[in-house]
Amino acid sequence: MKSFFDNQNLLALIWKWKTHLITIGAIAIVGAALFSSPWFITPMFESQARIYPTNTSTYSEESESEQMLEVLNSTDLKWQIIHTFKLQERFNIKPDEAHFRTKILKEYNDRIACKKTEYESIELTALDADPQVASDLVDSLIVFYNRKVLSLNREKAREQAAFFMKDLNRKRKEIEAIAAEMEPLRKEYGLLDYEIQAEQVTQGYMSALAGGANSRAIADIKNLMTNLEEKGGRFFLLQKELLALEMQRDTIASRYDKALARSEKNVTYTMVVEEPFPADKKAYPIRWLIVVVSFLAVEFLAVLTILGLEGIQSSKP
């Protein structure tokens, strides 16, 4: 039996059935053009933006861009967009429908996308029948991201400030306790600074003896020397501990001030390198592509059908 798949027979068959193929192709073109028109498929406009993270710090092995992507793709932020733009109405999904949350989030993911580019920037895209709404969706993603990160950072800073304040109060109480223990040593024994007084008393005693000072002056010096010998060791330890606690207090106070400043500052966390704008040309559907693909698919099926029919006829005795 002759093969119908060699080039000559195939071209001959196409020529034989050319009228039918032309008619089928024309119908396919008209049908594809009709069914891809706004009467059947709502045109969609795309808006996009490119942003970089800024004023952030990494909390894991993820890059700053990956962390930004996590926040942008969070369910919390998606619902903010859904409620703000009433997307359930734009998506024609009723809240009382079964699996409402699943359906609306799926539609959201189909129309709004956030992805990382090869240059570590984040590309935001949104599709909508209204080009202005598509642009507003992308712009709101940036605004809500900044608010979300600002809220998270402020909350963390407030927690840190509260922790430092608690630690600061504890250090202050420890300092007060040390100061209270040192106070009677100052008043009753005249101890002010152990190292300085020990040096000065020794020098003063030697000078008094050498200079022939009166007995009262020498007695006062001896009394202070006795106080230093009996209470000086404890006073010295308390003095050192007080100095260490005061240094710790100052460090904690500085950290508290910084945490408090972070909890009150108002900054943005995005650097927009490409601003969103309303598109003046639809992105979907691509009518010429639909028409071409439909035409080729229909013609291919038609040729296969013709080959099948010719094969059946040629096999008959």
Query: What mean pLDDT comes out for the span 211-223?
Result: 56
Query: What mean pLDDT comes out for the span 52-67?
Result: 80
- The token duo for 126 is 């949104």
How does residue 8 score in pLDDT terms, banded at 50, 70 and 90? low
Query: pLDDT, tens digit, for every residue of 288-307?
Result: 787 888 888 888 888 888 77
Query: What mean pLDDT comes out for the span 263-289?
Result: 85
How does residue 215 score in pLDDT terms, banded at 50, 70 and 90? low
Are 218 and 144 within 8 A, CB to CB?
no
Q: Is the pTM of this model over 0.75?
A: no
Query: What does the DSSP 8-state code read for residue 284?
Result: B
Rounded to whole angstroms, the Cα distance separating 235 from 121 reads 62
Domain residue spans of the chain? 1-41+285-312, 157-264
Q: Whose CA is closest to 52, among 70, 68, 32, 76?
A: 68
Q: Is the dihedral of CA 11, 12, 13, 19 positive or negative?
A: positive
pLDDT in the model for residue 142: 96
Whether pLDDT at 231 is above 70 = no
Whether pLDDT at 184 is above 80 = no
Rounded to whole angstroms, the Cα distance separating 91 from 111 reads 10
Whether pLDDT at 26 is above 60 = yes
Q: Long-range CB contacts (< 8 A, 24+ apart) of 163-166?
A: 164/252, 164/253, 164/255, 164/256, 164/259, 165/256
Rounded to whole angstroms, the Cα distance separating 108 from 136 reads 15
> Which of the residue ranges 89-98, 222-231, 263-272 would you say has the lowest mean pLDDT?
222-231
Cα dist from 25 to 40, 41, 78, 262, whole Å: 21, 22, 44, 67
More confident residue, 214 or 37: 37
